[in-house]
Amino acid sequence: MKKSALILLLLAIATAAFSQDHLKIMSYNVRSAKGMDGIRDYQRVANIIRNAAPDVVAVQELDSMIRRNGGVDALGEIALRAQMHPTYCPAIEFDGGKYGIGILSREVPLKVERIPLPGREEERALVVAEFGNFLFACTHLSLTEEDRMASLEVIRGVGAKAEKPLYLAGDLNAEPGSGFIKGLDKDFKILSDTARMTFPADTPDRVLDYIAVWRGTAPKHSVISRKVLEEPMASDHRPVEVVLRTAMDPNTLFRTRPYLQNPTGDGMTIMWETTIPTYSWVEYGRDSANLKMVRPLVDGQAEFTRSIHKVRLEGLQPGEKYWYRVCSQEILHYSGYYKIFGETAKSQLYQFVAPPAADQESFTAVIFNDLHQRDYVFKPLFEQVKDIDYDFVVFNGDCIDDPKDRDQATRYIKLLTEAVGGESIPTFFIRGNHEIRNAYSIGLRDHFDYAGGRTFGAFNWGDTRIVILDCGEDKKDDHAEYSGLNDFTHLRMEQVDFIKQELASKEFNKADKRILLHHIPIYGWKNGNLCEPLWRPMLDNAPFDLALNAHMHWYAFHPVGACENPYPVIVGGGRSVDSATVVVIEKSRGLIHVKVLKADGSIILDWKDSER
């Protein structure tokens, strides 16, 4: 393979996008790879750079195709071995070739500009490379202070025109406290460690090498580390390094829109996800011009380590409209007495209606089930109900299918909640057996705020009582597939006590209507339900007006007594476009009206509870 082709291949392998929020900068005067031992060793220099793994490097004293280095392109040789992209900038013609400075980078620059600088002993140069998020300038300044000060005016001119953060790095041939460094510090913030000596490499006694950022366009940032590398041999200078965490663009902080959860009592929970952990809060109120702040607190401290956010609003007026927005701010640095904040992302203003008063009779709800994370099943179903003015949405299990990781779960929760208008309409996610499977199943509950803090519970929507049960898995706990990690028997027994308490509660018995929701049917499911022997003795005598189930993947309607059921049971279809259904419940004037629709819009059930 030709050498040029090999370089291109290695660069293609090595080139990657800069980290969105971390940047490692290095500056190294390499003396054309000639070490303190008098040996010219490109591999040695490349190893130092490669081991440090910088994003971008300012390199000084580079021979290019001259007699004293045997006609070698020094920067090209180092770049090949360090697997970085070379940008060479000659300062002078010398010894049959050129001599100058350069940049090594993981990305190919979008644009490169060479700017001449004064130098009495030799001409100097500044090379400026533009990348996606910043500009990077490398230089090696004159030994003469007057020339350095003249160069500073040129560099200031570059900074004044910069529309992106501008980083400057190189051998400035000036020590801290000098007139040049004092002048530089007016417009540039020095990021590198000026307390650690950089020259000569074997016994350093002065600082000549710097990394700085133009103050005018400097991003909010935190210096994670600054080093002078302990390298006494490869060159006559030691390399300097700075690692920055730069503030993310606020437009990239939100991973999802907010979605409403747990609309119970006088409260509402607002949830959303960010791409990184942030300090987050909600601003809300009945007047969009007069919002107050609510933030999650843990033992008196504001939460800032999470990227799944949950803020509970309490004391809402029943049935009233509220405006709100979610806010998330990056924290770049957090120590005992010092914090650096990044940018703040603020969502648009949204509206929701607080949970209704106990005497409200009417509502409309939409129920999906067994979507099994199939967009092509959900989308045509939603088309049939998208124009309905519904009050809340229920996903009755096996919708977020076998979540293997957070990305998978987030993607589908985002798709579902955004489609149904979850920023303004509360959603309920009931566990099916498939939400319980795979590696991220235990993490799934972080994405929801369950009524009562459990995966089962009960709440009132106006004068209707809604009871949610969690059936757990559809196989026994000792099934080989579960490897001894499940104990749903205990969960089902907990719900025995819960059902007893619920059926005896004032809220249940005073309700005008009562609806039961759970995934696996108790009645009419030929394969049986492990909950049945525990729950049925109570449910057989419970005065529910309707039960809504799923799991079977085909639609079924069981009128009272059809399968020894004491109340009507509707089982939603699912999984395929042909068999999937969506259920619409309307409660009005003391009656429950249910329609079951297929993805093609056909109505396969139109039922009112007056028909019992």
pLDDT per position as a tens digit, 414-434: 999 999 999 999 999 999 999
Q: Are 310 and 297 in contact (CB under 8 A)?
A: no
pLDDT value of residue 7: 42
Q: Of 93-97, 229-233, 452-456, which gets the smallest average pLDDT?
A: 93-97
Terminal alpha carbon distance of the chain: 83
Tell me the CB-side half-sphere exposure of residue 381, using CA atoms within 13 A. 31
Would you place residue 611 in the very low, low, confident or very high pLDDT band (cuts 50, 70, 90)? low
Delineate the domains of the chain, giving CATH numbers in brackets.
3-246 (3.60.10.10), 259-353 (2.60.40), 363-611 (3.60.21.10)
CA separation for the pair 281, 326 (Å, rounded): 6
Closest CA to 371 of 581, 526, 522, 518: 581
Q: Is the pLDDT of residue 8 over 70?
A: no
Q: Strand (E) positions, 435-498?
A: 457-461, 464-468
Distances (CA, A) of 204 to 201, 389, 558: 5, 75, 87
Q: Are 449 and 271 in contact (CB under 8 A)?
A: yes
CA separation for the pair 321, 284 (Å, rounded): 11
Residue 174 identity (one-letter amino acid): A
- Is the link from the previous residue into 200 a cis peptide, with omega within 30 of 0? yes
For residue 379, give both structure tokens: 């989308």
CA separation for the pair 326, 269 (Å, rounded): 12
Q: Strand (E) positions, 229-265?
A: 240-246, 259-261
What percent of the residues of the chain are helix, what percent strand, and what percent coil, each to the nearest 5?
A: 25, 35, 40
pLDDT in tens, 545-578: 999 999 999 999 999 999 999 999 999 999 999 9
pLDDT value of residue 20: 52
Cα dihedral across residues 377, 378, 379, 383: positive or negative: positive
Mean pLDDT of 56-60: 98
Q: Is the pLDDT of residue 201 over 70?
A: yes
pLDDT in tens, 297-317: 999 999 999 999 999 999 999
| DSSP element (H, E) containing 166 | strand 166-171
Measured in degrees and rounded to the nearest 5, phi and psi for residue 196 equal: -105, 130
Closest CA to 220 of 187, 191, 244, 196: 244
Q: Are 219 and 165 in contact (CB under 8 A)?
A: yes
Strand partners, 511: none
CA separation for the pair 13, 400 (Å, rounded): 36
Q: Is the pLDDT of residue 9 over 70?
A: no
Q: How many CB atoms lie within 10 A of CB 44?
A: 19
3 state DSSP class of 212: strand
The sheet that has 268-273: what strands, in order across it? Answer: 259-261, 268-273, 308-313
pLDDT in tens, 129-187: 999 999 999 999 999 999 999 999 999 999 999 999 999 999 999 999 999 999 999 99
Mean pLDDT of 43-49: 98
Closest CA to 587 of 507, 510, 512: 512
Q: Is the pLDDT of residue 5 over 70?
A: no
Mean pLDDT of 391-402: 97
Mean pLDDT of 242-270: 96
Mean pLDDT of 81-104: 94
pLDDT in tens, 107-118: 999 999 999 999
CA separation for the pair 327, 331 (Å, rounded): 13
CA separation for the pair 193, 25 (Å, rounded): 13
Mean pLDDT of 371-397: 97
Mean pLDDT of 335-357: 95
- Mean pLDDT, the chain, as a whole number? 94
Q: Is the pLDDT of residue 254 over 60?
A: yes
Distances (CA, A) of 160 to 116, 148, 188, 218, 221: 17, 18, 11, 12, 20
CA separation for the pair 549, 115 (Å, rounded): 73
pLDDT value of residue 191: 98
Q: Is the pLDDT of residue 59 over 90?
A: yes
pLDDT value of residue 2: 42
Question: Which pTM value belongs to this model?
Answer: 0.87
Strand partners, 334: 339
pLDDT value of residue 610: 75
Residue 145's Cβ-count burial label (10 Å; 0-12, 13-18, 19+) is middle
CA separation for the pair 113, 138 (Å, rounded): 11
Q: Is the pLDDT of residue 520 over 90?
A: yes
Measured in degrees and rounded to the nearest 5, phi and psi for residue 431 equal: -75, 130
